[in-house]
Amino acid sequence: MQAVEVKSFLEANLPGTRVEVEGEGCNFQLNVISDELAALSPVKRQQSIYAHLNPWIADGSIHAVTMKFFSSAAWAERT
């Protein structure tokens, strides 16, 4: 599994969301930039990502995922 695959897949399935992915193999760190997701509770945010990644987690392609969520404004302040 490559970081670019995770990025492309999530961005295609979560319109209006930008995902920066670091890592390789089966361990990834995600920075998820989305005003819609940033407005949700932390549990709902993670559930929305895991809902898309669960098939890869189940087959072992992804072992570990860490996530940080940002609104567009918060991300712009970081960079």
What is the reported pLDDT for 25?
84
pLDDT in tens, 12-36: 999 999 999 999 888 999 999 999 9
Q: Give me the residues paired with residue 67 across strands.
A: 30
pTM of the predicted structure, to 2 decimals? 0.90
Look up residue 24 and give its DSSP letter: E
Superfamily of domain 3-77 in CATH is BolA-like (3.30.300.90)
Cβ atoms within 10 Å, residue 8: 13
Residues 6+ apart with CB under 8 A from 78: 70
Amino acid at 43: V
